[in-house]
Amino acid sequence: MPKTITVKKTTADDRAVTGKRGSSRSSTKAARRALRAAYRTRRGMAPLYATATQAIAGSVLAVPADGWKTAVAATAAGAVTTIAWGRWDARIGKKRLRKRLPRRADFIAAASAVTTGGGLVTAMAATGGLQLGHSPYPALLVAWGLGHGVYWWRRGKRTAAPAPALSQQLQDWQDKVARSDGPLPGSKLVDVITTDYGWTAVIVLSSGTWRKAVAATGDIAGALDLPEEMVQVEKAVGQSARRAIIAVFNRNPLQDGTTYPGPQILNTATGQAEVGIFYDGKPARYAFWKPSGPVHTVVYGATDGGKSRFLDMLLGTERHNGIVSIVCDPQGGQSLPRWREAVDWYEDTAQGGLAQLYAIRNVMYERSGRYSLMEWTDHKGRTLRGRDHFVVGDPDPLISVTIDEAHRVLALPGAVALVLEIVLMARKCGIKLRLVFQGPKANMFGAGPESTDIREQLQSGNTVMFRTASALTDSIGLPGWEVNPSQLPMYWPDGTSTAGLGYIKGPDNRQAQFRAHFDRDPAHWATTGTTPTLEASAAAVAGKAYSERLERLAARLRGETVTLPAEATPTASAGLTDPIAAATAAIAAEAPAGSDDKVAAFLLQRARPVGRNVIAQETRLTVSAVKNALTRLKREGRAVDVGRGIWAHPDHADTPTDPTELSEAA
């Protein structure tokens, strides 16, 4: 039977085993902590770690007899890698694989560290390692570490991430604008960008729309302790309605202005011209025409606002792009003197302006008659008869009628009715009106309810508003816009004029300050090129007021007193004494007897809004006669213009419009 040996385990033995395990665990934790600390300080302690690595490498490579060869190979590989790092700048297609090359000083320091460090390791490997005591290697390693370490540490301080350049603006916004009692509580700035003129950013509102930010422009300037004219806020086009764009100027970028480059500003493919720049340098565009026809224009501005120089630029552009310019300067020709002999028809009195409008009305109906029977080819190659839109140069040129100080012409008897007829009907015939006023008050457009209609029709096209004199009219000239042209300064801080500074509602539709190009030499564009003139058929119906215009101009230049021809002033058959009275009589003569009552009765019987074409078909009247009848009925309160060519009896004006009527309206 085998002998069994029993061993008794004592308490001392347990303590001995437990102590060894605890010691092992403690050392492991200490090592881990040391590694973590080394990793966290890897950037600052890099020179010390590199020095220690060299000492270890030199000692290890000294053990084999040919260890120095390995050191030489490693040094050569490090040198090649460093050179490649400092000079490599490859691309894949258009994509650059690195943002920028290292600085020259960094490249030299890296090359020195690799070559001298590699040489030191090679020397130690060849001579027996570190050799503490009388060996020079410990001192050389310390010198190497300190030399390269000083550069490394100084470079780290120099390239440490600086405080963001715009942190002060962001902090000011939070402290002064976005605080609970600030102009825009809870708002914030994003996409902050420095510019040549200051900085710009996107405002994100906590509630409300961009209009809230625009309305608070003055309060924002006050909160940031800036002049009001140095802060610009506008709608962020194409972004959330809660976002607006803010630009803060160190110096207004529009102060220097830009020079009119020439008639090439007009893009004949689109009908748009770059007539100035916005504060951010983007072009401000003006529409001469669009696919449906010419675009009417109204220009507002107080004295020295820049209206005349703006017109100089437009007239120069028209002359050199085949557009027929007809100009009335009722101030005796003083506002636009360079164009007296450079446009097709120039008048310098208000009465002459009326004669021009009367003749233009005749041209409008002459063209309308031709176009209604014209054969043309549509985009599908079909030959059609009757064209309902105007094409520039096919077959006739665009006619642009400019009336400066237009309130003087509209103040004459009958002028308002004539201008309203032209502004409503002339676009399809290739005629655009450009009226210029001091401001948008209703009395500027003449007396009577039609004056408001004229203003609305003109403002539906291009509206150019330079500095005005009254804050009460800002919203009238640019309805729905949160801008204040009356607050524009008259002078820049250096005392120069701000002429040409304003707002433009055109193709860009930006509620932002722009400044028109300045035509420094309008005489050059007025005396070069060829003056475009009316086509023969239009000239024939324009009458003697047009055909004798050059003779009257020559007489005025000789200092003689001139009068308009008899057909443009008194009408012998009716005993009329001015061209507008003649125009009014002509309008009435075109309407068959009882046409007004016939149209009014049809509207009452129809009992809902109806288009003009339908009225003409049902009453067997011409479209022209229906339009004229509706104009008179509206004046008498017997018809209501619902909009877009739709009319109704006053009793049925609130009845919903049948969608089919919109497609049938003229």
Q: pLDDT, tens digit, for every residue of 278-335?
A: 988 899 999 999 998 999 999 999 988 999 999 999 999 999 999 999 999 998 888 8
CATH class, domain 591-664, is mainly alpha
Question: Is 167-249 a domain of CATH 3.40.50?
Answer: no
State how far the Cα of 646 lies from the Cα of 615, in Å rounded to an integer.
Answer: 10
pLDDT for 146-177, tens place per residue? 777 777 777 766 554 444 445 677 888 988 99
566 forms beta bridges with: none
CA distances from 363 to 375, 410, 541, 666 (A): 20, 20, 6, 20
Binning pLDDT at 50, 70 and 90, where does residue 24 land?
Answer: low
Task: Please give the share of the chain, as a percent, with pLDDT higher than 70.
Answer: 86
Q: Give the pLDDT of residue 577.
A: 44
The greatest distance separating any two alpha carbons of the chain, rounded to the nearest whole angstrom, comes to 160
Q: Is the peptide bond before 136 cis (omega within 30 degrees of 0)?
A: no
State how far the Cα of 570 lies from the Cα of 253, in Å rounded to an integer.
Answer: 54
Binning pLDDT at 50, 70 and 90, where does residue 193 land?
Answer: confident
Binning pLDDT at 50, 70 and 90, where does residue 89 land?
Answer: low
State how far the Cα of 213 lies from the Cα of 311, in Å rounded to an integer.
Answer: 34
CA distances from 539 to 320, 401, 549, 553, 662 (A): 21, 15, 11, 17, 35
Q: Averaged over 504-510, what is the pLDDT?
A: 92
State how far the Cα of 379 lies from the Cα of 376, in Å rounded to an integer.
Answer: 10
Q: Averaged over 474-501, what is the pLDDT?
A: 87
Task: Please indicate whether residue 603 or residue 166 has the higher confidence score (pLDDT).
Answer: 603
pLDDT for 390-428, tens place per residue? 999 999 999 999 999 999 999 888 888 889 999 988 999
On the question of pLDDT at 36 being above 80, the answer is no
Binning pLDDT at 50, 70 and 90, where does residue 498 land?
Answer: very high
Mean pLDDT of all residues belonging to the chain: 82
Domain ranges of the chain: 26-90+98-158, 167-249, 263-557, 591-664
Residues 6+ away with beta carbon under 8 Å from 313: 260, 275, 516, 517, 519, 522
State how far the Cα of 666 lies from the Cα of 663, in Å rounded to an integer.
Answer: 8
- CB 460: neighbour CB atoms within 10 A? 13
Closest residue by Cα to residue 411 from 508, 330, 466: 330
pLDDT for 427-473, tens place per residue? 999 999 999 999 888 778 877 677 888 888 899 999 999 998 888 77
**Architecture of the domain whose range is 263-557:** 3-Layer(aba) Sandwich (3.40)
Q: Give the pLDDT of residue 576.
A: 41
Helix (H, G, I), strand (E, B) or coil at 524: helix
Q: Tell which phi-psi region holds residue 240, choosing left (phi > 0), alpha (psi between -120 and 50) or beta.
A: beta
CA distances from 423 to 297, 377, 461, 633 (A): 10, 28, 11, 18
